[in-house]
Amino acid sequence: MQKRRKNPPNSPAPERPFIKGQLWQLIDPTKFVQIGHVGRLLVSHRTLIPSLRRSLSRSTLTSIADLQRFLTTNQAVLVESTS
């Protein structure tokens, strides 16, 4: 009996949806999400409001799937990428 592999050998490597330094603009034009450190499962991010000249919250840890869901529900657009 052969061992099962988690990923089939011909499957492409998963893409990393977030890169450190990316800036996403939410549907509200005054709010942005800045991506911090990106790990295998978690993403560090903060919500920014430029008119206040400060971040709305301290750095927050969220799972990658939850942050993707948040950005899609808020119709976020990638404004700046460091790649």
pLDDT in tens, 19-42: 999 999 999 888 899 999 999 999
Note the pLDDT tens digit of each residue in 50-76. 877 766 677 889 999 999 999 999 999
pTM: 0.72
Residue 2's pLDDT band (cuts 50, 70, 90): low
Q: Is the dihedral of CA 17, 22, 31, 37 positive or negative?
A: positive
DSSP class per residue in 60-74: EEEEHHHHHHHHHHT
Distances, alpha carbon 69 to alpha carbons 10, 12, 16, 32, 63, in Å: 28, 23, 15, 15, 10
Return the higher-pLDDT residue of 2 and 25: 25
